Structure 1
Amino acid sequence: MIQVGELSIEEMDKILNLFPESFMQMPLQEQKISVSVYRLMLQGKPLSAKLIATSLGLVPEVVNQFLDHCSGIDYNDAGSIIGYWGLSLSKTGHRFEVDGHELYTWCAWDALFIPGIIGKTAMVTSICPVTGSPIRLTVSPNAVNSTRPVGTVVSFIEPEAVSKQESIVKSFCFYVNFFSSKSAGEHWIAENPGTFLLTLNEAFALGHRKNELQYVLTS
């Protein structure tokens, strides 16, 4: 059973409903492609549409059609995928290690909901932007299993404060970080209007709720 922290389902849905349509449930075939991209990225190598299609028994054109309509994708110069909706092969401030493969996430929240999509436990390492202290988490598909330090919290941005003119990384991910304590987080949000703090349980539960709404396959 997922712990929902202090946020109710209604409160979580209120937050998620203010986001773009990416939080609405995708057609089943698109869900399969999306989940496959996440899981294939765990190999730590750039992905081609052909590889994704082969893994699902689809023709590359079907996969390309899906990818062409996705804004949350990073490509390398060869046209292969190196980043997909929060999971990245490029180095960021949030290391995400699964089965010995080192990847990264675009923001703190990504590291909490992606384990539920890939069905695997991740070792997450980040740095508090205020204190510079290391933060280490073990995140399974169903819970945050361990946290150091114990008082770690997550900053979040009010959806209405997200600029439609900026990229998702600039307008959202920049504001979503781990903090080593509530006081460190409060210091940071005081200097970043439109942001607020969530406990780890709340942030994890919000991510789990997003997965439930978006993916039948991972519910």
Structure 2
Amino acid sequence: MQAGSRTLFGWCAWDTLFLPELLGEPVRVRSVSPDGTEVTLRVAAGGVRERSHREMVVTLPRPEQCRVEDVQVLSTFCRFIHFFTDPEAARSWAREALEDALVLPLVEAFRLGAECNRLRFGAVLGSER
């Protein structure tokens, strides 16, 4: 992801949706979905501003698949989280990869990230507004 002149990296697709608010600046994201399709988007603190595919979605693990005490975030959480061009592409990947992932519209995945930011960093974020 590009934030101004800096190139930054997220562990998963979802990171690129909630990090702009924490960074205090918009980012441009380029990612390749597991099916090989390139997706691009522009994300700011207030939401997704541009996207390369109108029906873009994000896959997330189901809550019962996550354990709070698990420190292996990349292998137990992030491996489920990808951008896809549309819901059918996401469901097809989930079937083939034997993953029982949730498929969320991009806007809902952004809102979930914003809510997590509020829960974890609300006092700090509130003082900057």
1:143 aligns with 2:50: no
Instruction: Write the mapping of 1:102-117 to structure 2, written as runs, cut at 5 A.
Output: 102-117=7-22
* Candidates 61, 68, 73, aligned match of 1:157: 61
Q: In structure 2, what is the Cα distance between the partners aligned to 1:113 and 1:165? A: 21
How far apart in 2 are the matches of 1:165 and 1:110?
Answer: 18
The higher relative CO (CA closer than 8 Å, separation ≥ 6) is in 2
Contact 1:189–1:196 (8 Å) recurs in 2:
no
TM-score calculated relative to the size of structure 1: 0.53
Consecutive unaligned residues of structure 1, counting only runs of 5 or more, are 1-95
CA distance in 2, matches of 1:155, 1:212: 21
Q: Separation in 2 of the partners of 1:166 and 1:187?
A: 29
Match of 1:178 among 80, 83, 92: 83
Q: Take 2:90 and 2:30, find their aligned partners in 1: how far apart are those partners?
A: 17
Deviation of residue 150 (structure 1)?
Answer: 1.5
In structure 2, the residue matched to 1:213 is 119
Matched, 1:200 2:106: yes
Q: CA deviation at 1:217?
A: 1.5
For the aligned residue pairs, the C-alpha RMSD in angstroms reads 1.5
Larger Rg: 1
Alpha-carbon distance in 2 for matches of 1:116, 1:190: 33
**8 Å Cα contact 1:154/1:203 also seen in 2:** yes
Looking at secondary structure, tell me which structure has more strand per residue: 2
Equivalent pairs, count: 123
For 1:217, the aligned partner's letter is V
How big is each residue's C-alpha offset from its partner over 1:27-71, in whole Å with a ceiling of 9 and x where there is no partner? xxxxxxxxxxxxxxxxxxxxxxxxxxxxxxxxxxxxxxxxxxxxx
Contact 1:175 1:195 in 2 (8 A): yes
* Distance in structure 2 (CA, Å) of the matches to 1:214 and 1:183: 33
Name the stretch that deviates more: 165-174 or 139-148: 165-174
| Gap regions ≥5 residues in structure 2 | none
Give matches, 1:32-51, under 5 Å. Answer: none
The 3-state SS of whatever aligns with 1:218 is helix
C-alpha distance in structure 1 between counterparts of 2:63 and 2:48, whole Å: 24
Percent identity over paired residues: 30
How do 1:82-121 residues align onto structure 2 when only pairs under 5 Å count?
Answer: 96-121=1-26
- d(CA) in 1 for partners of 2:85 and 2:106? 11
The code of the aligned residue for 2:28 comes to M
TM-score calculated relative to the size of structure 2: 0.88
